[in-house]
Amino acid sequence: MSLVMRTKWADPFAWPRWLKKVLVVAADSALIPISLYIAFALRIGSIVPHQHESLSAVYFLVIFVGGVGLLWLLRLNRLKLHAFDMHAMARLGACSAGLTLLAITVSYMFSLWAPRSVPLIFGAIFFLNAVAMRMLVLGVLGHIKQATGSHTSVAIYGAGAAGTQLANALRQSRELRPVIFVDDNSALHGIIIGGVRVCHPSVLEQMAHKNEIDRVLIAIPSMTIGQRERLHKTLEALPCEVQAIPSYVDLVSGKSWVDELRPISPDELLEREKVDLDIPEVAKAYAGRSVMVTGAGGSIGSELCRQLVDCELGRIVLFERCELALYEIERTLRPLAAEKGVEIACCLGSVIDRPAVDAVIEQHGVDIILHAAAYKHVPLVEENEVEGIRNNAIGTHTVAEAARDAGIERFILISTDKAVRPTNVMGATKRLAELIVHEAQRKAQRTRFAMVRFGNVLGSSGSVVPLFHEQIRRGGPVTVTHPEVTRYFMTISEASRLVLLAGAFSEGDDMFVLDMGAPVKIVDLARRMIKLANRTVRDADNPDGDVEIEFCGLRAGEKLYEELLIDDDSLIQTPHEKILRASESPLSEIEVAAMLKQIGEVLETRDKHKIRMILQRYVAGYAAAAGNDETPKVQPGM
């Protein structure tokens, strides 16, 4: 016999199921004559009742055969040993009662001698022997498991129903072994549940340091998220693993506190009515045209593409440098475009690559360009000034020149409110992009150039909404940079529609802004998201709340508030009451040429200090935030 086979048969836990059933039937069958013999011995008062002259071997034989049949009929061999509970006890009780009736019947039917009390004693003795045998086997197997197998010692936090159920389940595991219950309820201290003692939670630290426990399982599903999070943080100091276990009811139903967090619609977070931007001019302006969207895989770019498909285009050209992003938007857009009869062209390329941009415009007969490609994450661009100005400023110059030289119909730049008196590199580079578009319009004979400036977009990549949702899902804290920081907000659909409207309303050299109502405090947005997620804020007034809001300080280049316009007096109405046209002073042709030359030289040397000098020289109101000369750190939250 091989070593593997010998090891298998030496381990009772590895025995096949059929063998275990045979052994159980054999053991229970052996208990029938043994229990009957003991019953006669107790009744007659002798340890050798077989010497009694009236005792018949036939009586034992008939009861043995009938008893084995009764065992098979009641299927005692199918009772799982590790799950020996009240149901199994009741099945054994029924079998014992059946054996008692069998003994009485055999005595009367075959006129075999047996005192009337013997069947009763026989049934009781069989029941006790069957239970004792199972308890003995369980004890032996448990000892073998502890002696031969490696296991993880577990402390169960919570001695209620969930903790008890968990302990019962762990007893069947070879990997985990419950060694102690802990509970804050002093009334439970000292009691024993399933052989495990209940103690005060203060014993955990001592046991963990003595390596008496390897893991703590929190089994109190009635806890709120805030209570669970605080308990988890308290136990994290222990030199062992800490895990929270949902109740069995939740596991069966597939329910958990994390799953209860429903997706929050950006519309629910606005403190104003949603702007109705569904007007006929949009579809008319783009119908039958070939429209190119740069940065097509980004948040704004992808939404622009989705809305453009509904405008009955002739062709939509997706221009994107990220292969995965291009694949995702193409995969999403393809069925919608096929339904509307819109042709899709997928083009990998960078906006700073002039030959690539020219080739795409010529190959696909582009009529309109929506320029959404940009680096927009403030802290990241603050640390990467060179690539920020290359992509946001030079990229815009490249695409705008290509559009002007090709004589396309319209070019729309997507800008940001951070371009107004910026304190960060991202905002300053977007302001340079606006100035470049102004200059492109001055030289253009056919192309109409326009810019669209709006605030933060709810739900876009890198915005606070997905960040806050993830933080709330984890139980907090929700990180906010400053209690007074405010922002203008709009939804992705509003932002994208505004861009399309700009193309419809554009007369050339236009700056469009959206009336977005009053700015919103970020901390109020965080509170609203926590409330919409059916959670409560944990603060001084509500220490038992679910999610805490933590202030982590303004990031490098971040302002307390943003503005939409440099000159508020320049606003002009458009056909839509919520869309406004602004007029701002551009740079002269000589200044733009000098600026582009200086940027080109700096990109060759990658001199970060000179980049900031260029931004200060050409961007009105630009003032670098304190500490920007050093490498800033990216912090979480807004």
Q: Tell me the range of 28-37, 227-236, 292-301, 481-490 where mean pLDDT is highest.
A: 292-301
**Beta-ladder partners of 69:** none
CA atoms within 13 A on the CB side of 406: 25
Two domains, one topology: 150-253 and 280-457+489-517+564-618: yes
Other beta carbons within 10 Å of 272? 13
Task: Grade residue 461 by pLDDT with cuts at 50, 70 and 90.
Answer: low
Annotated catalytic residue 443:
no
Q: Tell me the range of 7-21, 90-104, 336-350, 617-631 where mean pLDDT is highest.
A: 336-350
Give the torsion sign (CA, 388, 389, 394, 396).
positive
**Beta-ladder partners of 597:** none
Task: Grade residue 13 by pLDDT with cuts at 50, 70 and 90.
Answer: low
Instruction: Tell me the pLDDT tens digit for each residue of 162-190.
Output: 888 888 777 766 677 888 999 988 888 98
| 572's tokens | 């002009």
pLDDT of residue 412: 94
Instruction: Tell me the pLDDT tens digit for each residue of 541-588.
Output: 888 787 888 888 877 666 676 665 545 556 677 777 777 787 777 888
pLDDT of residue 610: 92
- In the chain, what are the domain boundaries? 3-145, 150-253, 280-457+489-517+564-618
Q: Is the peptide bond before 477 cis (omega within 30 degrees of 0)?
A: yes
**Over 60: is that where the pLDDT of 625 sits?**
no
Task: Grade residue 250 by pLDDT with cuts at 50, 70 and 90.
Answer: low
**Over 80: is that where the pLDDT of 140 sits?**
no
Give DSSP secondary structure letters for 151-181.
Answer: -EEEEEE--SHHHHHHHHHHTT-SSEEEEEE
pLDDT of residue 390: 96
Looking at CATH, the fold of the domain delimited by 150-253 is given as Rossmann fold (3.40.50)
Instruction: Tell me the pLDDT tens digit for each residue of 365-413.
Output: 999 999 999 998 888 999 999 999 999 999 999 999 999 999 999 999 9
pLDDT of residue 595: 93
The full 3-state SS of 233-302, as one line of letters, equals: HHHCCCCCEEEECCCHHHHHHCCCCCCCCCCCCHHHHCCCCCCCCCCHHHHHHHCCCEEEEECCCCHHHH
Catalytic residue among 145, 340, 418, 578: 418
pLDDT of residue 365: 95
Q: What is the CATH class of 280-457+489-517+564-618? A: alpha beta
- Residue 19's contacts (CB-CB under 8 Å, 6 or more residues apart) are none
Q: Which of 615, 483, 468, 452 has its CA nearest to residue 553?
A: 483
Q: Which residue has the higher pLDDT, 414 or 517?
A: 414
pLDDT of residue 261: 46
Mean predicted confidence (pLDDT) in 244-272: 53
Task: Grade residue 296 by pLDDT with cuts at 50, 70 and 90.
Answer: very high
**Over 50: is that where the pLDDT of 322 sits?**
yes
Are 534 and 260 in contact, with CB atoms under 8 Å apart? Answer: yes
- Among 266-275, 327-336, 506-515, 595-604, the minimum mean pLDDT is found in 266-275
Give the Cα separation of 282 and 307 in Å (integer). Answer: 10
pLDDT of residue 257: 44
Q: What percent of the chain has pLDDT over 90?
A: 25
Instruction: Tell me the pLDDT tens digit for each residue of 419-431.
Output: 888 888 999 999 9
Length of the chain: 638
pTM score: 0.59
Task: Grade residue 79 by pLDDT with cuts at 50, 70 and 90.
Answer: low
Q: What mean pLDDT value characterizes the chain?
A: 80
